Structure 1
Amino acid sequence: MKKLFSTITLVAAATATAPSSLQAAPLDADQQQQVRELIRSTLVENPDILVEAINELRNRELQAQEDARKASLEAKKDELFNTPGDPFIGNPKGKLAMVYFADYNCGFCKRQDPVLEQMVKQYPDLKVIYKELPVLGETSREAAELVLAAHANHPDIYQKLHQRLMSKPGGHDSASIAAALKAEGLDAEALKKKVDTNIRAKVDNNIRLASELGIRGTPAMVFADEVLGGFTNAEQLSEKIKSRLN
């Protein structure tokens, strides 16, 4: 390793002390071969150098990804937290807002939902904004559109309907979606006629927004400065919320 550093130092020194009007002569073929051999032997004798280099590259890539995500969060802040008509639970004027991307066919979302309901009870200054993200097939999209249509026309029913759809084990089909609607006094066929271009656009915008934030699945929870991908248990989520409220 010392040999490698010595060679690099000598080359750098020779370049630095050369007259500014002259260009440093390139290494000839023999010198290039000597440098290659020296680097090779150094890496063979000290393989940790390569491991350190790979780790450093990986760390830089992760940092670049994190920086890009934070910049994206800042740029999309209004879309995330101030989109008119988004369903929510908790305090409408809470000090802390969190966006929740979910799919009614997602098993982990079915586990995440009760945790979020627990959080809004535990933290009166928390607002949880729902963004339907149908990524698990046609019935995910069907459920998302019908739920949003129900919210637009019967906002008082939304939370009960959401909970009912999430409480069913496994995935949904059209019959189970219709049954959930019926249980809340709604007719699926009548509601389908109210799924207009605005509702379809809202779902499409949710999908686009999630993609732009690097979200590839559900559940996902988004604070103004962080994206939590996958299921997050009550203890972990509570710490995230508490640290931002304090």
Structure 2
Amino acid sequence: MKNKIISSVLFSALALAGCNAQAEKTNFDNLSQSDKDQIGKIASDYIIDHPDVLIKASNKLQSQQEEQQKAEAKKMVKAVLANKEKLLSDPATPVYGPQDAKVALIEFFDYQCAYCSKMAPYMKQIEEKYPKVKFVFKETPIFGSQWEASDYAAKVGLWIYKNYGSKAYNNYHNDLFATNKMEGQLQKSDINAVAKKIGADISKFDDKENTSVDISLFKDLGFQGTPSFIVMPVKNANENNTFVIPGADPNSIVTAIEKVQKQTN
């Protein structure tokens, strides 16, 4: 068993060398078990005598993964910059914060998303810590086909913003997450109750007149899930001052805000 594990590790190291690794694997699979065991012993002895091989392979793999992540991030930033008007200037998108804000924090979220729910208290803290930041709320009900309340909550949110304004929407947003209901637990009755609590006459909301929420921008930017965040200056955004955070990472959000604030002051 030890020889098999080590030979597998050695193959992983060989795979880093280039595209011939698949041919090497095919040849290895065609060998008899005794030949495989012998190769395993040779690999085991070699690695024991040269442990630096595994360290070098591990370092190279880590380096390749980091480069891949950087390339993906750069690609997403370019997509963000190509869509900055849709991100920052869409009149139907809920926003909260000063009109003259220099920094924008954009969040893509679903009210049924567990990670979005866990991030909500941190987002509220960030909102309180950075009152000069413009918060942009991109309703993204990716679970709409699975849970009807996901799409319903997003549509009610957009309706509240349109009819009751920014502050009412922000209260709805925070209070709905404060229910701690997610992944199918959130129901229309919960959404209606929160809407009523923040002063909206939910009886005037007509679900039939409100079409499904468009999440095409979320897909165009290359995001894979919610929550996802973008921190960028409201004006003169470029590749050096625009940050994409695809996941629940409050520390990275704060770091990005601090960097953009320094550049815009």
TM (norm. structure 1) is 0.68
Contact 1:90 1:127 in 2 (8 A): yes
Alignment partner of 1:229 out of 243, 246, 251: 246
- CA deviation string 1:176-214 (max 9, x = no partner): 1122223234344421258435xx4xx21xx11111222
Distance of aligned partners of 1:51 and 1:107 in 2 relative to their CA distance in 1, 3 Å threshold? closer
Aligned partner of 2:259 in structure 1 is: 243
Alignment partner of 1:159 out of 160, 170, 176: 170
Contact 2:231 2:253 in 1 (8 A): no
**Offset of 1:146 from its aligned partner?**
1.1
**Does structure 1 residue 107 correspond to structure 2 residue 114?**
yes
Distance of aligned partners of 1:68 and 1:148 in 2 relative to their CA distance in 1, 3 Å threshold? same
Alignment partner of 1:218 out of 194, 219, 226: 226
Distance of aligned partners of 1:78 and 1:173 in 2 relative to their CA distance in 1, 3 Å threshold? same
Note the 1:9-20 alignment, pairs <5 A: none
**Offset of 1:152 from its aligned partner?**
1.0
Inter-partner Cα distance in structure 2 for 1:179 and 1:143: 11
SS for the counterpart of 1:115 is helix
Aligned partner of 1:209 in structure 2 is: 217
Contact 2:111 2:176 in 1 (8 A): yes
Aligned partner of 2:159 in structure 1 is: 149
**Offset of 1:50 from its aligned partner?**
7.0
Alignment partner of 2:105 out of 83, 90, 98: 98
**Offset of 1:91 from its aligned partner?**
2.1
Inter-partner Cα distance in structure 1 for 2:181 and 2:196: 19
Inter-partner Cα distance in structure 2 for 1:65 and 1:89: 29
Note the 1:28-43 alignment, pairs <5 A: none
Contact 1:149 1:191 in 2 (8 A): yes
Distance of aligned partners of 1:96 and 1:193 in 2 relative to their CA distance in 1, 3 Å threshold? same
SS for the counterpart of 1:131 is strand
Inter-partner Cα distance in structure 2 for 1:194 and 1:72: 33
Inter-partner Cα distance in structure 2 for 1:217 and 1:135: 8
Distance of aligned partners of 1:174 and 1:124 in 2 relative to their CA distance in 1, 3 Å threshold? closer
Distance of aligned partners of 1:93 and 1:61 in 2 relative to their CA distance in 1, 3 Å threshold? same
Contact 1:103 1:109 in 2 (8 A): yes
C-alpha RMSD of the superposition: 2.6
Distance of aligned partners of 1:169 and 1:68 in 2 relative to their CA distance in 1, 3 Å threshold? same
Inter-partner Cα distance in structure 1 for 2:217 and 2:105: 15
Alignment partner of 2:84 out of 70, 77, 87: 77
Alignment partner of 2:128 out of 121, 124, 131: 121
Structure 1: tracts of 5 or more residues without a match: 1-43
Distance of aligned partners of 1:52 and 1:124 in 2 relative to their CA distance in 1, 3 Å threshold? closer
Aligned length: 196
- Report the residue type matching 2:249 in the other structure: T
Aligned partner of 1:169 in structure 2 is: 180
- Report the residue type matching 2:170 in the other structure: Q
Distance of aligned partners of 1:163 and 1:195 in 2 relative to their CA distance in 1, 3 Å threshold? farther
Aligned partner of 1:13 in structure 2 is: none
TM (norm. structure 2) is 0.64
